[in-house]
Chains A and B, each alone.
Chain A
Amino acid sequence: MIDALGYTFMQNAVIVSVLASIACGIIGTLVTVNRMSALAGSIAHASFGGLGLAYLAGFNPLIGATCFAVAGAAGIAAVSSKKRSRTDTAMAAMWATGMAAGLVFIKLSGTYSADLMSWLFGSLLAVSSSDIAFAAVLDIVILLVITGLYKEFLAVSFDQEFSMLQGVPTHFIRGLFLILTALTAVLLMKITGLIMVIAMLSIPAAIAGMYTGSLWKMMVLASILAAVFNLAGLSLAWMLDLPPGAVIILIAAFAYAVSLIIERVRSGTT
């Protein structure tokens, strides 16, 4: 494993893994406490439509995915601000429509299917310097937004109506949260693939939630856990010659199962 670090692609993989953990831990915590993992899933799948369109029209797939993810997040924000019961339907429709549109565009473009597979299942060993830049910029934006508006994010997540009565711009905060979720989902697609994004946004935060009593501690622990899962998965995948995205998810799922058992035992004995 150590000698693998001599390769540039491996260095890039390690850097992106660590950078993505920060976005993943912070946004994943907000997704988890707001019970919006289905939303994160539908945003990730909607972005597949953007990927297909990018291949067809010949521009950078990352841009296509980002645009579709953000547009999907904005669409859901618009629907959910009016009526909560419709959000569920809108998310399900977006999930499937994104995939369907992506498949049609990709067929029309005649793209080789290996490209497609790398977006669906991750391509951690093929990240570029532009991916690293994307991750770094996103981390900075997320850190600035969360430190500046922490009390508002906490309040809106805990009790939206009360926050509204306190003059907090709740729709603005929700919209910002959805857009940051969309961008994080696109970033994580590079690592685990869009099919497994939902796991990286929920598992580290869910484990962190079992051991912490405040939102910011949960964010910090979730980020650390995500980094551990990413690096452990990357190393193990390298040694066993397996796809890193899948190994990362399996390690995270195993840690989650162990945490659940520990929690069960603890609550049983006390």
Chain B
Amino acid sequence: MKEAIRLHGVTAGYRTGNPIIHNIDLTVQENDFLAVIGPNGGGKTTLLKVILGLLTPWEGTASVFGESPEKNHPAIGYVPQLIPEDSFPITVMDVVLMGRLRNAGLLRRFSRGDRETAEMNLARLNVEDLAGDDMNSLSGGQKQRVLIARALAGKPQILLLDEPVASVDHDTQISFFNLLAELNSTITIVLVTHDVGAVSAHVKNIACINRTLISHGETLSSESVAKAYGCPFELISHGGIPHRVLGNGKEPKT
């Protein structure tokens, strides 16, 4: 198996003297499905920005397929967190076409092939009927699918998702994870979320961070959660305990 992402001793932040993430070592193998959990302000988005090459680490190194993230931008599909209040005048098709900007190049119009790729990815996410709609008229779950279609339109090998289930209801979450599991057959997936209860059975590995990497493995112990969130797991879970989170590490692995 190839290494898709490797962070080595990464310390990064935005203001000098105030690192958001500290000395993080994390390796993601190709075709992994990694969920990174941690409290808000714990550095999850910062971690993604380092992997994306949008933020240069103060210390340590980040690499994607053995090279600097900047060199591998075409390999990475990014699904940012939804901004609910946004009212930008743009159609669904125009959003998805953004994933073809690199292919189209400056000063040129999008080609027929670009449009077909965009349509294909909308269909892949079952939102092809919305192509001509105003982005603002969509529900949170639909917008999320459009943003994933946009990321996939660039034909990435790695998909990075920031809080993808923050604005969707429970049923939508289930179908959403089924979809990600399907994509995972060909694409490496890393998603970050503050919601421990949202981590589904489809996830192959779980990393827990709060400034530093607290744990990384196939399962997550309630001690790790308590350490990351600063409170017992029971206080942060809602809607039953997900079976991936093992009490005291005694239960068998799935």
A interface residue numbers (CB < 8 A to B): 33, 148-149, 151-152, 154-155, 157-159, 161-169, 209, 212-215, 217-218
Contacts and interface: CB of A to CB of B under 8 A. Distances in A.
B115 interface: no
Given A159-B80, A165-B78, A148 B98 contact: no
Nearest to A219: B89
B89 A162 contact: no
B89 A214 contact: yes
Contact of A162 (B87, B104, B109, B150): B150
A25 B110 CA distance: 25
B201 interface: no
A240 B106 CA distance: 50
Given A149-B106, A215-B90, A162 B98 contact: yes
Nearest to B73: A165
Given A165-B73, A166-B101, 18 more contacts: A149-B107, A151-B104, A152-B101, A152-B106, A154-B90, A155-B101, A159-B80, A159-B98, A161-B52, A162-B80, A165-B76, A165-B78, A166-B73, A168-B101, A213-B134, A213-B136, A214-B89, A214-B94
A215 B106 CA distance: 18
25 contacts: A33-B89, A151-B97, A152-B101, A154-B90, A158-B98, A161-B54, A161-B78, A162-B150, A163-B98, A164-B54, A165-B54, A165-B76, A166-B73, A166-B102, A167-B102, A168-B101, A169-B106, A209-B87, A212-B89, A213-B89, A213-B134, A214-B91, A214-B94, A217-B89, A218-B89
B42 interface: no
Interface string B77-119: 0101000000111110011011101101011011000000000
A209 B102 CA distance: 28
Q: How large is the interface on B (under 10, 10 to 19, 20 to 34, 35 or more residues)?
A: 20 to 34
Interface in B148-190: 150, 154
Nearest to B53: A165
A214 B90 contact: yes
Nearest to B95: A158
Contact of A151 (B78, B91, B110, B134): B110
Interface string B134-148: 101000000000000
Contacts of A168: 101, 106
Given A165-B73, A213-B134, A218-B89, A148 B102 contact: no
B125 to A, nearest CB: 17
A154 B94 contact: yes
Nearest to A32: B89
A161 B80 contact: yes
Contacts of B91: 213-214
A97 to B, nearest CB: 27
B101 A158 contact: no
Contacts of A209: 87, 89
Contacts of B52: 161, 165
A157 B88 contact: yes
Which 4 pairs, one residue from A and one from B, show the smallest C-beta to C-beta distance? A166-B101, A213-B134, A167-B102, A166-B102
Nearest to B88: A158
A105 B107 CA distance: 43
B254 to A, nearest CB: 34
A173 to B, nearest CB: 10
Contacts of A33: 88-89
A165 B154 CA distance: 10
B90 A151 contact: no
Contacts of B95: 158
Nearest to B150: A162
A167 B73 contact: yes
Contacts of A159: 80, 98
